[in-house]
Structure 1
Amino acid sequence: MTNRARLDAAARRRASPAVVFGGTRLVVEDIVGLAQRTRTARLSTDPAWQDRIRRGVDALHAHLAAGHPVYGVTTGYGDACVVDVPMALIEALPAQLTRYHGCGMGEWLDDEAVRAVLACRLASLAQGYSAVRPELLASLVHLLDHDILPRIPAEGSVGASGDLTPLSYVAATLIGEREVKYDDRLCLASDALAATGGTPIMLAPKEGLALMNGTAVMTALASLAFARSRSLARLASRLTALTTIALDGRAAHFHPTLFDAKPHEGQRDAARWIREDLSGSAEPPEARLQDRYSLRCAPHVVGVLVDALSWVRRDVENEINSANDNPLIDPETGEVHHGGNFYGGHIAFAMDSLKTAVANIADLMDRQLALLVDEKFNNGLPRNLSGATGPRAPINHGFKAVQIGASAWAAEALKHTMPASVFSRSTESHNQDKVSMGTIAARDCLRVLMLTEQVAAAHTLAVAQAVALRERMSPETSRLPGALRHWLDAVATRSPFVEEDRALEHELRAVRTWLADGGDLPHDE
């Protein structure tokens, strides 16, 4: 990114309302805004909230002064909770936790995901139950402000006791250890902190555990998955409308009476979006009485995703706004509560369910694409949607390979719908003997989304080609609604009509990125 682009982006962030941590309920869009660097983070200035944070720390110190045992403060971790830690070693214990958990593997989380992780951990600690100092909260804000991104391996969490291993990379950054990404390069955490006016902190009793023993990674990934899934539902509806036009299908399948008779709200929404896109299009005079299921039942498929998103939002936002480490310190009463709020079961189930609903969208689009390219079912369109005419027509194969690729991506998306949450393992000397696998479920969901967006890119290029071919075949009856015409024009700027076969990989990638960013689609709030 150029200096000019950085300055412009920073100005836009300053002009947007800050995400305030402390005393206010956050929504998915707050996490996504911080992840995408369109929002800034700040701590609440409310004296009541600031006092709550200080009282939690004071309550912990009072327990220690009284000689009361506190898990992870005066004891070892996990199964070692029966091991007493001498007072002389209590201050060394938090950093020790960060170090032995530095064993993650796999790909690194991308920049958006890391920012979302920082935001979700900050949101949890700001609830005031974790007995962390204001300085630690300010240090997390510093990472977000200066875009100092811990290098977090994606693999190594079983989702209870939270995301211990990946979150150890956040804790390590705060104490100036391990590598981070800063200013588009890798460097030592201590160097990035020094370059931005920050300093490593020494973790106080319980602060290592508070940073690491929670659901921030799975919740961050779930927030990003939710945002991408919402635009996908609208996209599948638009592609259904365009496929209906390209195949000379029947708009009557989306009549409101049908969806009043089966009143799932998401199904109604999907049908309405399709009707709005088809408004003004001509009904073919000799259309089939009933189109095939991938058209006729499209609202019923998309509607499942739309309705699922309502409760997925509820559960993800409850997790964002939860205190999910252990133990919790009640700042009002001073009581210490040992429990299991680090268990990520709600996120695990939400992501297992969401990835299934999303994969069904991939399957739907793949079926519609298969109809478009097959001359036995596409109502007169050229075989494989080839745009070639004249003597070179026999050697052109149009979208044959694109359809094969889309089928492969859809199949892989469907394969990933195996629920992760049922694969609990007994770990850590049978202390963590029932775990959520929420982070694996969230990673699976993002993979399913990527594959589904690839299918969507293939479908988008193919349906744009199909509509153009239909209009070329019947220019006298062509009547494309304005919203669809405008959208297809936007597609054409990224991938023009395929007259002669060409490699489409780069165009597919560009369209996938555009679609994942919203694809210029309308959206309902």
Structure 2
Amino acid sequence: MNAFVPILHSKSALTPVDLESASGPVDVVLSEEALAAVKHGHAFVAASLRDERPVYGSTTGFGPLVVFDGRESAAEQCENVLQHLTVGQGPDLPPEVARAAVLARLWSLSRGVSGVSDTVVHALRRMLQAPFAPAVPTLGSVGASGDLVPLAHVVQALRGVGHAYVDGVRMPADEALARAGLDPLRLDGRDALGLVNGTSVTSALAGLATASLQRSQHVAVGLVALLADLLGAAPAFLAPPLLAAFGHPEVVTVGAELSSWLAGIDPSPDRPLQEPYSIRCTPQLLGAARSAIAWSSEVITRDLNGVSDNPLFFPEEDLVAHGGNFFGQPAAFASDLLSIVATQIGNLAERQVDLLVDPHRNGGRPPMLSTSPGRQHAIQGMQVLATSTVVAMRRCCTPAAMQSVPTNLHNQDIVPFGTQGALTAFEQARSLRLLHGCLGVALRQAIHTGSRRPTARRCADLAAALADQIAPIEQDRPLDEDIRTAADVLDRHVAETATA
């Protein structure tokens, strides 16, 4: 039985969700046309070199040392590029990110215009079929000339140099290859530069952040609805003419989704005419978030399906094209926007937790949602976590996309720092999930400590899903695992109900 998740190279586009599939073994099904294009491109590189055409990185040194000759043989040129770039520092990227980067690199190289050999393409495909992930340090890329340093660590691990993971366990790379049943990668000619001279790490990080935030935006809608139902809020703030007048179609869409969640609600007569902004303004906030995430997703999807190498090879035009496709500015802008969006949705979740612990605003429930205030503190510590997390997210929102610092003997005299921006967006998306986990635990406890139960069917179903996995807090207990469990329940339940 085939245990792999198939990803078809002949499909229209590689998506951020496809990147998530690469966390475990996947089979990238390469079309005959793709394999033929790879062979054709590689043959054109060989012919160009035989004709003594100048080809960056094949006949020259690298970066500002392009004015000097490279090493004598093609194999030595592979060593030339890899060894000086194996300098990364800091903690490793999560293994699922490294695997997603390999998928993105394979997808790009399979277009056939990078000039690598089919040996490389098949080796990357075999790696993705195995439970193997290169150990890739977080520090080292400025997001221009591609992700040279982190991708060098990817290639070195595939050669058996450095470290790698098998089933999540870190070990020397040569041992990891043996355990995964993989042969060390052999490189020649154009292969090494083609593997490292692209923005695949940036695109993978940004793509994974996008997929996570798309889910979190839908989770936020469900959480708003459950909060509004538990307080007995009237859904007047969702009136279609009101939202249509705002002029933003995504706001109308979110309003319709909230109305679906709140269908059948029995509002409380004790609620004020206007709810606090953390309820009343959520269509506007989450609608804007939806719009921004959609734009970022479009940009990053283009990145995943473009080719970011240098040089590129076009046999039909007899063209060896030297340029700057490795300059990751689009993903840098998109990643910075994703970080801002994640933080504002996080701000909303933190404010909603604050509302629930306040006996003056939480619909008559006890302070901190404690069954015995003073003796039991319920979610008091969790609120401190939420506050800490959202402030950490705010501090990470300084844009990376314009932090240019010249480097590389001023060859790289302007750079986009997209890799750092994408890493921040990825981490912000993970933090937002935890904030939603906190809010999920708080809502579950609000049901336990209040007299009002959800009256809308979808809200009642979400409350039941949380209650099934998270016990009420009668006596104080560690909540760290409950927060992570709630985040998983929310992701799963909202995804399942969206497709039901």
TM-score, with structure 2 as normaliser: 0.94
CA deviation after TM superposition for structure 1 residue 191, in Å: 4.2
CA deviation after TM superposition for structure 1 residue 387, in Å: 2.1
Q: Aligned in 2, Cα 1:184/1:422: closer, same or farther, shift over 3 Å?
A: closer
What is the one-letter code of the residue matched to 1:126? S
Q: Does 1:210 align with 2:197?
A: no
In structure 2, which of residues 276, 291, 294 is the aligned counterpart of residue 310 of structure 1? 294
In structure 1, which of residues 63, 72, 77 is the aligned counterpart of residue 57 of structure 2? 72
Q: Aligned in 2, Cα 1:372/1:326: closer, same or farther, shift over 3 Å?
A: same
Q: Distance in 1 between matches of 2:61 and 2:142?
A: 20
Q: Distance in 1 between matches of 2:254 and 2:322?
A: 46
1:69-103 deviation per Cα after TM superposition (whole angstroms, max 9, x unaligned): 111111000010001125x3343011221122111
What is the one-letter code of the residue matched to 2:32? T
In structure 2, which of residues 63, 67, 70 is the aligned counterpart of residue 82 of structure 1? 67
Give the aligned partner of residue 34 of structure 1. Answer: 22
Q: Distance in 1 between matches of 2:290 and 2:321?
A: 38
CA deviation after TM superposition for structure 1 residue 232, in Å: 0.6
Aligned 8 A contact 2:231 2:268 in 1 = no
Q: Does 1:451 align with 2:426?
A: no
What is the one-letter code of the residue matched to 1:44? S
Give the aligned partner of residue 249 of structure 2. Answer: 265
Give the aligned partner of residue 462 of structure 2. Answer: 487
Identity %: 30
What is the one-letter code of the residue matched to 1:432? Q
Q: Aligned in 2, Cα 1:500/1:174: closer, same or farther, shift over 3 Å?
A: closer
Give the aligned partner of residue 119 of structure 2. Answer: 135
Aligned 8 A contact 1:23 1:44 in 2 = no
Q: Distance in 2 between matches of 1:92 and 1:326?
A: 19
Q: Distance in 1 between matches of 2:35 and 2:477?
A: 61
CA deviation after TM superposition for structure 1 residue 32, in Å: 2.1
In structure 1, which of residues 466, 485, 502 is the aligned counterpart of residue 446 of structure 2? 466
Q: Does 1:437 align with 2:421?
A: no
Q: Distance in 2 between matches of 1:398 and 1:378?
A: 15
Aligned 8 A contact 2:329 2:418 in 1 = yes
1:169-225 deviation per Cα after TM superposition (whole angstroms, max 9, x unaligned): 222133332222225544444444455554334322221111001100011111111
In structure 2, which of residues 376, 385, 399 is the aligned counterpart of residue 419 of structure 1? 399
CA deviation after TM superposition for structure 1 residue 255, in Å: 1.8
Give the aligned partner of residue 510 of structure 1. Answer: 485
Q: Distance in 2 between matches of 1:23 and 1:244?
A: 42
Q: What's the Cα RMSD here?
A: 2.1
* Secondary structure at the counterpart of residue 329 of structure 1: strand
* Secondary structure at the counterpart of residue 35 of structure 1: coil
Aligned 8 A contact 1:43 1:138 in 2 = no
Paired residues in the alignment total 500
Q: Distance in 2 between matches of 1:134 and 1:448?
A: 37
In structure 1, which of residues 190, 211, 236 is the aligned counterpart of residue 220 of structure 2? 236
Q: Aligned in 2, Cα 1:439/1:383: closer, same or farther, shift over 3 Å?
A: same
Q: Distance in 1 between matches of 2:17 and 2:168?
A: 25
In structure 1, which of residues 94, 97, 109 is the aligned counterpart of residue 78 of structure 2? 94
- Runs of 5+ in structure 2 lacking a partner? none
Q: Distance in 2 between matches of 1:21 and 1:178?
A: 30
TM-score, with structure 1 as normaliser: 0.90
CA deviation after TM superposition for structure 1 residue 489, in Å: 1.8
Q: Aligned in 2, Cα 1:516/1:282: closer, same or farther, shift over 3 Å?
A: closer
* Secondary structure at the counterpart of residue 498 of structure 2: coil
Aligned 8 A contact 1:94 1:207 in 2 = yes
* Secondary structure at the counterpart of residue 497 of structure 2: coil
- Runs of 5+ in structure 1 lacking a partner? 1-9
Q: Does 1:54 align with 2:39?
A: yes
Q: Superposition pairs for residues 35-434 of structure 1, below 5 Å?
A: 35-37=23-25, 39-46=26-33, 49-85=34-70, 88-194=72-178, 198-388=182-372, 393-434=373-414
Give the aligned partner of residue 7 of structure 1. Answer: none
Aligned 8 A contact 2:262 2:458 in 1 = no
Q: Distance in 2 between matches of 1:61 and 1:192?
A: 33
1:430-473 deviation per Cα after TM superposition (whole angstroms, max 9, x unaligned): 11111111111111112212222221111111122223333x3x
Q: Distance in 1 between matches of 2:2 and 2:186?
A: 33
Aligned 8 A contact 1:109 1:151 in 2 = yes
What is the one-letter code of the residue matched to 2:61? G
